[in-house]
Each structure stands twice: as structure tokens, then as C-alpha cells.
Chain A
């Protein structure tokens, strides 16, 4: 406990705070001392303890003074602890709370938990030994390299240290990689701002931008994934991207649609298309926007929205109204049918089967029997009989 020196608690330049934890008690060896409730701070260079009630009571030891550290698990009524084994105090140490102590270790008791993370960080700092690379002020002693008499930690501690070093290396690589990404994101933001301002200029027709340039510029924007800001989301004059996508969809969906009787629900389309793409999946919005343009682009498919809100893609050649006539026949043959029964008979999905029956009802060919037994459709005898 005589290794501590009084300190202001302020960190020097390059001495960076790593982690701090409240509710820490210090033991001199196994003995409880008066420093029972404080905030423990770990920096790259030092371990600092500051009394929670009296902030002026603040002490620190250099990390270089630590030989090794151990964890002591919590017990019944006992908090988890970190045992810190220390080098002997150097002769010219600054004054601290204790002049002398018979113990060469202290214990830090984490009464408000946080021991696990603190231990991890402390071990890291011990491994990285950042204080060696970043000397702060001359007044702080730095223990460089091994001193005679220093206990070299081998065995498990040595292995742990190697693992730490490896982890540190990986961490560093990842940080560097993310550094680039954050730089990229900053640049991307700038680019978006720039493109927005140019786009506005186009809109206001300020500056001498020719028609050709405008088109070229717009395509640059699109290739960067920034949609045309001038004509967004207007049905029939959507973005280039959606137009291209619509054409692509027409190609992909022709065969599947024919297999399925000329009609598919939009959710089926979504699954099918994304499965085919594998990567660069389509968002539902993009799919819907592209589908809205199918008819305008005179492609062989179209988007249709039923009264219930269900959206389907049909082949242009598909005439749902005609299918209704055959549905009526089927229902008449069987007397009455539910959506599920009809779907099974015809080999359609229940969703589309229901839509077809509802359409038939809308057209007056069928009527409904709605009871606790479910929804059944009958030929519309109200109209045909008497």
C-alpha cells in the first residue's frame, strides 16, 4: 500500500482514460483500510483511486509498478476482487497515503460490480504497455524493461499474455479497417451534399448545364445509387433504376407466370426474384415501384391491385374476368365451395383463389354464405332464379 502516491487525479496529455468503476474498496494485502468507497480509474499509464465523498483524496500507482494481477471470484457476502501484485516502491517515490507497508500486494474490491470488465481492460493495458510508447511527463517514473529481481511471469500468465497480444493485433486491424470506412462515410456525405446542390441547380435551371449534361449527370447519380431527385416516385415516370428493374422482372417472371396459370401474388414474386438474385436483394419498395411501371412500359406483365389490397402480377394475356366464368362453372358443379376447397380443386394458392371468388361475387356471378362454419360461395341464384 506504500506504492501509492497522492495525485490530482488529472490526466496528462497522452495519458488516456480507459475505464472507470465506482464503488471500489482498497485492501492493503488482506487488511481493510480506510479507503472503502472510491472510484477506480484506469488510464494507459496509471491506476487511480479517488474517494467518492472527498474528491481531494486521490491517489495513483503507475501501471509499470504492477507485476501481475489476479482475479478473486465473489463469494457469499463478499464482492469480487482483483489482486494487484506490485514491485517494490522506488526510493524517490512521491508522497502517498502510506509511508510503509508489509504487503507487496493490494486488493481492489468491487462492491458495485464491474470487476470483470475492469480486469479485462487492466490486463489489456498490462499487455499493451502503452505507457512505454507514450511517455508523459518526466515526473512520472516509467519502468522500462525488466528490472533485476523482477518476477517474470511464465506458465499460464505467459500464455494469457500471448493471447492478449494476438487479440490486440486483431483489434488493431479491425480498427484500422473501420477507420477507412468512417473516412469513406465522411466522403460519401460530402458527395451526397454536392450532388444535391447540383441537382437543385439542374432543377432551377441555374448555371449553363446542357440537356445532354443533365442526362449524363443524372445517370451518374443513379449509378451511385442516388435516385433522380427531380422526378421521384411519380407513377409512370419513375426512376431509371425502377425502369430497368421492371424490364428485368418481365424477363425473369415470364416463365414462372405461365407455369402458374398467368397470375402470381406479389409476395410470391418477391421471394422468387430475390432467390434468383442471391445477392443484391431487392427491397419490397423497389419491387413495388418497378411493378407499377410494368404497364406503362408496355411490358407483357402488369401489376393489379384487388379491392382487398392484395397485389398480384398477371400476364397481359391473362384475363382474370374470364377465369371467373370457369370459376362459376366449378362452383356450380360442386354446389358451393370455400376458398380452400376451390384452391385445392383448381391448383391455386388460397390467396389467389379467394381473390378470384371475390371477383366473381363482385361481378354478380356468386353470392356468399357467411356463417360460423366459414365463408362459402354459391352460384348467385338471387339473380338467375325466379
Chain B
């Protein structure tokens, strides 16, 4: 699975896996590198949600070859950082599992709306499935997007009065304005 994924240089650098560096500037770089690694990893593996326990053992935070693991406290800090940036949402109160969005909902919303406008489909209604799995969207980045993330993207558009989430025959759909 990880074959096509290219690990960044930091992945082979032992200090990367150390509890966050004491030097503030260094720490910022380290944290930023982790955030982007998490997002690109999840994007490539099409992983939209994860539990913290999974994360700890996944090759993402556990480099077996290097014999280094990022300590769980530091993982928490990385996840919190992602949450602050809008890329992560906790799925439960105990913060044991999370939704990971390599693009923020706002960004997805924009992309979707742009496609809708481009293809002149304002005032059209779509089912959620059509949007992410329909033929028409095959070339779009949001093709294959997971439902949770899609919903959040549409909710943003809803707030911007560019869309409305509706119920259709056997699920949910959306109308664009």
C-alpha cells in the first residue's frame, strides 16, 4: 500500500520522531512537516477517518525500519494542530477517532461549486452519490470523496447560500443555486 507513497526526507530523520523539539523554531518546522505528512498519507491511502490507536501503529507514525515511533503525546499535539487548521474533526467526545480531510471543507466546497458553475448546473439537484461517483465528475478532484467530508463541504456552501442539502428518494442530495 505504501509502495507508491514517497516518504519525505524527514521520515528517515530520527529527530523527526522525537517528542517535539525543545527549540521553538525547530519545533514549528517539525510540527508543520508532520501535519503535511499526515494529510498526504491519508490522501494517498484514501483514508478519511482513523482512530488514534490505529494511527500509533500505522507506518505513518511508526517507522519500523528506523526503529522510531512518534510518542503518543506528540501525536495528540499533531492532531490538535490539524484540527486547528481545519483539516481534522474529532468523531467522539473521548477523542479516540477522527475525520481527516486533506482539503478543508471550505476548499472542497469551492471546488464543487466551481464545477457546478462551470458546467452550468446551477439550480440542479444531485444526489450525494452522483457528485462523488457520477461519470460527470470523474475528472474532478472531489471524485471519490468520502461522504463525511462531502457533507461538511456542502454544509459550508449551505451557509454561504450557495447550496441546500435536501432529502431525496433514498438518501440525501443537494441543490445548488
Of all chain B residues, the one with the shortest Cβ separation from A377 is B15
In the complex, whether A378 has a CB less than 8 A from a CB of chain B is: yes
Name the residue of chain A whose CB is nearest to the CB of B21. A367
Interface residues on B, range: 10 to 19
**Most central of B15, B18, B22, B30 by chain A CB within 10 Å:** B15
Asked if B18 contacts A371 (CB within 8 A), the reply is yes
A369 near B30: Cβ-Cβ < 8 Å: no
* Alpha-carbon distance between A376 and B14 when the two chains are bound, in angstroms: 9
Contact count A vs B, C-beta below 8 Å: 52
Q: List 11 A-B contacts (CB under 8 A).
A: A336-B14, A367-B23, A367-B26, A369-B68, A371-B68, A378-B14, A382-B15, A382-B30, A383-B25, A383-B26, A386-B8
- Chain B nearest CB from A132 CB (Å) reads 82
Give the contacting residue for A370; candidates B8, B9, B19, B23; CB below 8 A. B19
Residue interface bits B41-78, CB-to-A below 8 A is 1, else 0: 00000000000000000000000000010000000000
Q: Are B29 and A383 in contact (CB under 8 A)?
A: yes
Q: Is residue A364 contacting chain B, with contact meaning CB distance below 8 A? A: yes
How long is the Cα–Cα vector from A367 to B13 in the complex, in angstroms?
11
User: What chain B residues lie within 8 Å of A381 (beta carbons)?
Assistant: 9-10, 13, 15
Closest to A373 in B: B67
Render B10-42 as a binary contact track against A, CB cut-off 8 A, 1 for contact.
100111011101110110011001000000000
Chain B, residues 140-157, CB within 8 Å of chain A (1/0): the string is 000000000000000000
- CB < 8 Å neighbour of B33 from A336, A362, A378, A382: A382
Q: Which residue of A lies closest to B28 (CB)?
A: A382
The answer to whether B26 touches A380 (Cβ under 8 A) is yes
* Cα distance, A383 to B17, chains bound together (Å): 16
Give the secondary structure class of A's interface: mixed
Does A36 make an interface contact (CB < 8 A)? no
Q: Which residues of B contact A (CB under 8 A)?
A: 8-10, 13-15, 17-19, 21-23, 25-26, 29-30, 33, 68
Contact of B9 with A367 in the complex, beta carbons under 8 Å: no
Chain A CB within 10 Å, residue with most, of B14, B19, B22, B23:
B23
Q: How far is B9's CA from A385's CA once the two chains are assembled, in angstroms? A: 9
A-side interface residues, number (CB < 8 Å): 17
Asked whether any CB of chain B lies closer than 8 Å to the CB of A121, the reply is no
Is A130 engaged at the interface, CB distance under 8 Å to the other chain?
Answer: no
How far in angstroms is the closest Cβ of chain B from A376?
A: 7
A364/B23 contact (C-beta < 8 A), A378-B15, A382-B29 known? yes
Among A361, A368, A380, A382: residue with most chain B CB under 10 A: A382
| A345-386 interface code vs B (CB 8 A; 1 in, 0 out) | 000000000000000011010011111000010101111011
B25, A368: Cβ atoms closer than 8 Å: no
Say how far B104's CB is from chain A's closest CB, in angstroms.
Answer: 23
Determine the residue in chain B with the shortest Cβ distance to A380.
Answer: B26
Q: In the complex the two chains form, what is the Cα distance from A232 to B19 in whole Å?
A: 45
* Residues on the B chain within 8 Å of A336, using CB: 14
Chain B residues within an 8 Å CB radius of A371? 14, 17-18, 68
- Residue contact A368 to B21, C-beta cutoff 8 Å: yes
Minimum CB–CB distance for A365 against chain B, Å: 9
- B23 / chain A contacts, CB cutoff of 8 Å: 361-362, 364, 367, 380
Q: Judge whether B22 and A386 touch: CB under 8 Å.
A: no
CB B38 to nearest CB in A, in angstroms, measures 17
The answer to whether A370 touches B29, judged by C-beta atoms less than 8 angstroms apart, is: no
For the complex with contacts A367-B26, A378-B14, 20 further pairs of A-B residues with Cβ separation under 8 Å are A361-B26, A362-B23, A364-B23, A364-B26, A367-B23, A368-B15, A369-B17, A371-B17, A371-B18, A376-B14, A380-B23, A381-B9, A381-B10, A381-B13, A381-B15, A382-B21, A382-B30, A383-B26, A385-B9, A386-B9
> Which residues from A are CB-within-8-Å of B21?
367-368, 382
- Chain B contacts for A368, CB-based, 8 A: 15, 18, 21-22
Give Cα distance in the complex from A376 to B13, angstroms. Answer: 12
Set of chain B residues within 8 Å of A378, measured between Cβ atoms: 13-15
B69 vs chain A, min Cβ distance (A)? 9
Question: Could you tell me the distance in whole angstroms from the C-beta of B65 to the nearest C-beta in chain A?
Answer: 14
CA distance A361 to B19 in the complex (A): 15
| Given A381-B9, A382-B30, A386-B9, A367 and B15 contact (CB-CB distance below 8 Å) | yes
Complex contact B22–A361 (CB within 8 A): yes
Question: A370 touching B18 by the CB < 8 A rule?
Answer: yes
Q: In the bound complex, what is the Cα–Cα distance between A364 and B18 (angstroms)?
A: 16
Distance from A283 Cβ to chain B, minimum over Cβ atoms (Å): 35
Question: Which residues of the other chain, B, contact A362 by a CB distance below 8 angstroms?
Answer: 23
Given the contacts A361-B23, A382-B33, A369 and B9 also touching, CB distance less than 8 Å:
no
Considering only residues 325-341 of chain A, those with a C-beta below 8 Å from chain B are: 336
| Contact pick for A369, options B10, B15, B22, B26, CB 8 Å | B15
Residues of A within 8 A of B17 (CB): 369, 371
Closest chain A residue, CB of each to CB of B19: A370
